[in-house]
Structure 1
């Protein structure tokens, strides 16, 4: 199990990381970095969680290095708690058979 780079007991701010990266190796580095900082996968190309300011800056540097010269986009959005509380999530259930 990888060691988390941020203490999960530190509250931090809600963060949403969205990415569209075509290169498989680069995309794997982005996913690994998000997981290393304790972010959870929300959707195939989106991770969410809470990060302190210092952890966010570290993650930004790591994602910038992971991206390198590859084409694509990574967006790191800091959210406010009210935005999460006010969000509408519509979840579809997979059908069996």
Structure 2
């Protein structure tokens, strides 16, 4: 007959080995997820416009100026009698 203590020790070693293997798998999966997020973040940065020098206030001012110019052009067209111009243009 085999010694019950040796069987128990063998089972403990096998359980510890299995736990270490599972921990390695979880760590590898976590690392892969982090690398994937990092790569995704890099791709998003590449997609951003290169002109990062413009701040929010400058962007708002440019948008307001463009809207004002468009409104002035529409008003001029309406004054000249071109009634087919709509606000959607």
- Normalising TM by the smaller chain, what interval? under 0.3
TM-score normalised per structure 2? 0.23
TM-score normalised per structure 1? 0.21
User: Between Structure 1 and Structure 2, which shows a larger proportion of strand residues?
Assistant: 1
- Decide which structure has the larger Cα Rg and report it: 2
